[in-house]
Structure 1
Amino acid sequence: MHFLSDTVVLSRMQFALTAIFHMIWPVLTTGLGIYLVLVEALWLKTRNPDYYYHARFWSKLYVLNFGIGVASGIPMGFQFGTNWAPFSEAVGNFFGSIIGFEASWAFMLEAAFLGIMVFGWERVNPIIHFVATILVAFGANLSTFWILTANSWMQTPAGGQFTDGIFIVNDYFQAIFNPFMAVSIAHMFLATLETSLFVIGGISAWYILNQRHPAFFAKAFKIALATAIAVAPLQIYVGHLSGEQVYRQQPTKMAAMEALWETQPAGQPADWSLVALPNKQTETNDWEIKVPNALGYILELKPNLSEPVQGLKEFPPEDRPSMVGLVYYSFRLMIAIGFFLAGLMLLTTLQWLRGQLAAETIAAQRWLMRGWIFAAPLGYIAVESGWIVRCVGRQPWVVYGQIRTVDAASNLPPGDVLTTLVGFATTYTILFFGAIYFGSRIIRRGPRLDLPIPGIEDKPAVNTEPGQFSPDERPVEAQQ
Structure 2
Amino acid sequence: MELDPLILSRIQFAFVVSFHAIFPVFTIGLASYIAVLEGLAFKTRNPVWTKLSTFWTKVFAVVFGMGVVSGIVMSFQFGTNWSAFSQASANFLGPILSYEVITAFFLEAAFLGVLLFGRDKVPAGVHLFAAIMVATGTFISSFWILAANSWMQTPAGVEFREGVFHVVSWSEAIFNPSFPYRFMHMALASFLTGGFVVAGVSAWYLLRGREVEANRKALSMCLWLLLFIAPAQAVVGDFHGLNTLEHQPAKVAAMEGNWETSRNVPLLLFAIPDQENQTNHFEIGVPSLASLILTHEWDGEVPGLNEVAVEEQPPVAIVFWSFRIMVGIGVLMILFALAGLVLRAGGRLYKTRWYLQGMRFMSIAPFFAVLTGWFVTEVGRAPWLVYGMMTQAESVTPSLTGGMALFTLIGYIVVYALVFSAGVYYLMRVLYVGLEDTDDEEHASDRPARPLSAAHVPFEIESGSHGVHQAKPANEGGH
TM-score when normalising by structure 2 = 0.90
CA distance in 2, matches of 1:194, 1:240: 17
The alignment status of 1:213 with 2:211, answered yes or no, reads yes
Deviation (angstroms), 1:181: 0.5
Output the amino acid matched with 1:280: Q
CA distance in 1, matches of 2:138, 2:230: 21
Give the corresponding residue for 2:158.
Answer: 160
CA distance in 2, matches of 1:95, 1:287: 44
The alignment status of 1:374 with 2:339, answered yes or no, reads no
Give the corresponding residue for 1:465.
Answer: none
Output the amino acid matched with 1:50: V
Instruction: Please list, as runs of the form range in 1=range in 2, the aligned pairs for 1:384-399 lying within 5 A after superposition.
Output: 384-399=371-386
Give the corresponding residue for 2:438.
Answer: 450
Q: 2:328 aligns with which of 336, 345, 350?
A: 336
Deviation (angstroms), 1:304: 2.4
Output the amino acid matched with 1:316: A
Q: 2:428 aligns with which of 424, 437, 440?
A: 440
Q: 1:275 aligns with which of 245, 270, 273?
A: 270
Q: 2:123 aligns with which of 122, 125, 146?
A: 125
Give the corresponding residue for 2:81.
Answer: 83
Give the corresponding residue for 2:302.
Answer: 309
Deviation (angstroms), 1:65: 0.4
CA distance in 1, matches of 2:436, 2:294: 50
Q: 1:404 aligns with which of 361, 375, 391?
A: 391
Matched residue pairs, number? 439
- The unaligned stretches of length 5 or more in structure 2 are 441-479
Q: 1:255 aligns with which of 253, 256, 260?
A: 253
Q: 2:68 aligns with which of 67, 70, 73?
A: 70
The alignment status of 1:239 with 2:237, answered yes or no, reads yes
Report if aligned partners of 2:291, 2:302 keep a CA contact under 8 Å in 1.
no
Q: Cα RMSD between the aligned structures? A: 1.2
Give the corresponding residue for 1:351.
Answer: 343
The alignment status of 1:287 with 2:279, answered yes or no, reads no
- The unaligned stretches of length 5 or more in structure 1 are 453-480
CA distance in 2, matches of 1:274, 1:239: 18
Q: Deviations over 1:119-171 (max 9, x none)?
A: 00011011011111111111112111111110110011001211111111111
Report if aligned partners of 2:326, 2:369 keep a CA contact under 8 Å in 1.
yes
Output the amino acid matched with 1:426: V
The alignment status of 1:12 with 2:5, answered yes or no, reads no
CA distance in 2, matches of 1:217, 1:145: 32
Q: Deviations over 1:222-256 (max 9, x none)?
A: 11111112211101110111111111110111111
Q: 1:192 aligns with which of 154, 168, 190?
A: 190
Report if aligned partners of 2:265, 2:302 keep a CA contact under 8 Å in 1.
no
CA distance in 2, matches of 1:122, 1:169: 49
Output the amino acid matched with 1:222: S
The alignment status of 1:427 with 2:415, answered yes or no, reads yes
Output the amino acid matched with 2:293: I
Q: Deviations over 1:54-74 (max 9, x none)?
A: 000000110000110011100
Deviation (angstroms), 1:451: 5.9
CA distance in 1, matches of 2:213, 2:153: 47
Give the secondary-structure state (helix, strand or coil) at the position aligned to 2:303.
coil
Give the secondary-structure state (helix, strand or coil) at the position aligned to 1:5.
coil
